Amino acid sequence: MPHELSPDFMQALRELMERVPTPFYAYDLRRVRAQTARYREAFAQARLFYAIKANPRLRLLEHLRAAGVGAETVSLGEVLRAYVAGYMLDEVVLNGPVKPPAALEELARAGVPTLVADGEDDLARIARYLPGARVLLRLNPDLPVDTHPHLATGRGDSQFGVLPEDWPGVFARGRELGLEMHGLHVHLGSNLNNPADFAARLEVLERLRVRVGRLEVLDLGGGFGLEMDPAALAPAMLALARRFGAELWVEPGRALVAEAGVLVARVWGFKETRRRYLLLDAGMTAFLRPALYGARPPVRPLYQASERATFDLAGPACESGDVLARDVELPVPREGDALAILEAGAYGGAMSLTYLDHPRPGEYAWDGERWEVWRRPEHLPDLWKDETDQPEYL
């Protein structure tokens, strides 16, 4: 069952709709706080690093940092963003399979977070540009993770990490290179709702433990789907970390923010082909997850009508894949009525695109009393401001 929006948040949304252009993202900050508290409680003996790719708005990061949550990043830009939000070096972890020399040089200037090395080449490059850095080595657990294939980073055929048979040797190589090898990182994938995946990983790690010995850090990544109960998963993860003699780190992204966010879009067209469509002012450029991962978010009307019907919800792109949801039963809207697309707080605004010259939507957060601007809506002329309209040569 999806998490329902509270009546006062729905009311605040209706008021906001009259003040800002659609489409826009809106977040219930109280839900972020509740989910963060739930994860902090379940993992009270672990360190939490929020995967900022899920929703990187600076104001959100400031709230999470104040709640004692670190930042997990995957690019130089995300590290610098975390520093702007006030994070200290030891509160930031940098992941990602590619760390170009220019990014490492910039980190040497800006401050070096804990790095997750993705393989032997990555270790060597880190040692060259950031000698003595604190490093975790990423494991590819080679498991048939149950999620969309684009999100299953822990499968053996993905490009991530070092396979179990090679991991101890590559870890030892990191020490030879003079790096501070702190521990092991493993991220199974995203949007995991099958506890069997978490259990299978524990078995892989338990088998590896005899060959690895003590570690300072065991970072088990993120991936907690919205149906997962962190309190049910945490004890086994903590027990395993203890057997490694390690501190447990986890990196939830989606779980902290997804349910707090909605995308609000207006209906500007009705169409019957072989299916019945509502045509919205938001589609794949505002919210990419349906097109990219086949996500089918729940939808709620922000209007009333007595007649009901079932619709597919399509966006304004000239692509048949630009459908945000299918077979949604709704009161029949009038032109200009608005819908709230739920579970859009993670990988929503963060992935919005300017493809087709659609400006990215504004983002606002409700704290129970007022709306705070998290990102102003983009404006059209800004979309071509970096383009040359006169000849310019290098």
Ligand X SMILES: Cc1ncc(COP(=O)(O)O)c(C=O)c1O
Residues that bind ligand X (CB under 6 A): 51, 54, 72, 95, 187, 190-191, 221-224, 251-255
Q: Active site includes 117?
A: no
Tokens of 330: 């709704």
Smallest distance from ligand X to CB 235, Å: 19
Instruction: For residue 28, list its beta bridge partners.
Output: 366
Is 316 or 348 the residue whose CB approaches ligand X more closely? 348
Smallest distance from ligand X to CB 10, Å: 26
User: Given 1, 66, 210, 318, which residue is catalytic?
Assistant: 318
Helices (H) and strands (E) in the chain, counts: 12, 17
Give the CA angle between residues 344, 347, 351 to the nearest 5°. 115
Is 113 or 221 the residue whose CB approaches ligand X more closely? 221
Task: With beta carbons less than 8 A apart as the criterion, state whether 309 and 327 touch.
Answer: no
DSSP 307-328: -EEEEEEE-SSSSTT-EEEEEE
Task: With beta carbons less than 8 A apart as the criterion, state whether 258 and 226 touch.
Answer: yes
Specify the pairing of strand 261-272 against strand 247-250. Answer: unpaired
Q: Which of 382, 383, 377 is nearest to 22 (CA)?
A: 377
**Alpha carbon distance, N-terminus to C-terminus of the chain:** 56
Smallest distance from ligand X to CB 191, Å: 6
Smallest distance from ligand X to CB 35, Å: 11
Is 138 or 375 the residue whose CB approaches ligand X more closely? 138
Instruction: For residue 329, list its beta bridge partners.
Output: 310
Question: DSSP class of residue 91?
Answer: G
Smallest distance from ligand X to CB 167, Å: 16
Is 262 or 280 the residue whose CB approaches ligand X more closely? 262
Is 83 or 160 the residue whose CB approaches ligand X more closely? 160
At residue 263, the 3 state secondary structure works out as strand
Amino acid 363 reads E
Q: Kindly report the number of other CB atoms within 10 A of residue 271's CB atom.
A: 12
Residues designated catalytic: 318
